[in-house]
Amino acid sequence: MSEPSHGVTLAAIQAARRRLEGQVARTPLVRSEALSRRFDADILLKLETCQPTGAFKLRGATNMIAALIERHGREALAAGVVTASTGNHGRAVAHAAARLGIPAVVCLSRLVPADKAEAVAALGAEVRRVGESQDAAFAEVERLVRERGMVLIPPFDDPLIAAGQGTIGLELLEDAPDLDRVLAGLSGGGLLGGIGAALKALRPEVTVTGVSLSRGAAMAESLAAGHPLAVEEETSLGDSLGGGIGLDNRCTFALVREVMDEHYRVSEAAIAAAMVDFLEHEKRLVEGAAAVGLAALAEHGIAVRGQTVALILSGNAVSLETFDRARALAGC
């Protein structure tokens, strides 16, 4: 059997898991009693908020850097690594690079909240604010790769990144072998695509549900069009789900199209209500992008009765100011 064009195979995900052992957390999968009663289902929360950097992105970034060293030697990264990010991936690259003593530059658009930029800088990376979109930040990345010989660690569009995120899927099935459905945020496609690749290889009957923002959802618009599109970003509580997928996308567009079974878009009000719900009933402060699974269940009335359902709580990078905005929008 030939390897898929996107390159994210079960073998690649299993290799990622070996590289990540001892480098990232094997995060808990916990049952929410309140949500299980509310939806008459077994609702499980995958707590990627427990990663050292507070988000799932550490898996992909660490896997890629480790794989490059494994294949080409540490000297291949002597000029340092560079990326563009909406925040969490930048923290992941900064964390992984610092542990290995490798210089790192993280390019952020001006739409990325200040608290996320400060968190990246605190890990030792150089932060560059560039333009009003992810595409503008990527232009600066390309310049640094071209002029300084830095190595790009992309936020999502690479088989090594998606395979690292796919290790979440392996853990889900180990902890919940009867899993019926998983809901994950959909942006660039590394998270949902990687998880979906693992699940479809090992338990193909699991329903893989992607959740996007109601506005500025580049992957959703691209899938509807049948090819990658440039979509204008908009400010959102779920800002980690913003950004384009790249007109020359070579991995995640095909991957998501292959593994995703259904897709929902959620409003700002639904995201706000879910963020508040997680704090009030689960005592978990999560960012908007981490709350979209619950937002989709509530806003769209997805039929999950009697099912075992996993919600991916992807990150906790939310300021109190942003959370107060969510509370106000939710009417609290």
Say if residue 193 is in the same domain as residue 212.
yes
pLDDT at 160: 98
Say if residue 49 is in the same domain as residue 62.
no
Say if residue 117 is in the same domain as residue 228.
no
Return the CATH number at 320: 3.40.50.1100
Say if residue 29 is in the same domain as residue 75.
no
Residue with tokens 């923002």: 213
Where does the pLDDT of residue 2 fall: very low under 50, low under 70, confident under 90, or very high at 90 and above? low
Say if residue 208 is in the same domain as residue 319.
yes
Tell me which of 96, 124, 152 is where a domain ends: 152
Tell me which of 152, 184, 213 is where a domain ends: 152
**Structural tokens at position 164:** 């690292």
Answer whether residue 320 is part of any domain.
yes
Q: Is 5 a catalytic residue?
A: no
pLDDT at 119: 85
Q: Count Cβ atoms within 10 A of the Cβ of residue 25 and give its class: 0-12 exposed, 13-18 middle, 19 or more buried.
A: middle
pLDDT at 243: 77
Global pTM value: 0.93
Say if residue 121 is in the same domain as residue 185.
no
Say if residue 27 is in the same domain as residue 71.
no
pLDDT at 320: 86
pLDDT at 244: 84
pLDDT at 276: 97
Answer whether residue 1 is part of any domain.
no
pLDDT at 3: 75
Summarize pLDDT for 225-283 with one digit per residue, the tens: 999 998 888 889 998 898 789 899 999 999 999 999 999 999 999 999 999 999 999 99
Contact 110, 131 (CB under 8 A): yes
Say if residue 196 is in the same domain as residue 144.
no
Answer whether residue 183 is part of any domain.
yes
pLDDT at 233: 80
Catalytic position from the list 85, 222, 240, 314: 314
**Residue 301 pLDDT > 80, yes or no?**
yes
Cα separation, 36 vs 296, in Å, equals: 15
Mean pLDDT of the chain: 94
Q: DSSP character for 65?
A: H
> Taking residues 91-107, what's their average pLDDT?
91
Give the other-Cβ count within 10 Å of 67's Cβ. 19
Where does the pLDDT of residue 331 fall: very low under 50, low under 70, confident under 90, or very high at 90 and above? confident
| Least confidently predicted of 117-131, 234-248, 300-314 | 234-248
Give percent of the chain with pLDDT exceeding 70.
99
Range of the domain at 84: 57-152
Catalytic position from the list 57, 116, 222, 240: 57
**Residue 145 pLDDT > 80, yes or no?**
yes
pLDDT at 104: 95
**Structural tokens at position 184:** 């994950």
Give the other-Cβ count within 10 Å of 236's Cβ. 19
Give percent of the chain with pLDDT exceeding 90.
80
| DSSP-derived 3-state class of residue 163 | helix
Q: Count Cβ atoms within 10 A of the Cβ of residue 99 and give its class: 0-12 exposed, 13-18 middle, 19 or more buried.
A: middle
**Residue 86 pLDDT > 80, yes or no?**
no
Cα separation, 69 vs 162, in Å, equals: 18
Summarize pLDDT for 166-189 with one digit per residue, the tens: 999 999 999 999 999 999 999 999
Q: How many domains in the chain? A: 2
Summarize pLDDT for 206-231 with one digit per residue, the tens: 999 999 999 989 999 999 999 999 88
Q: Is 57 a catalytic residue?
A: yes
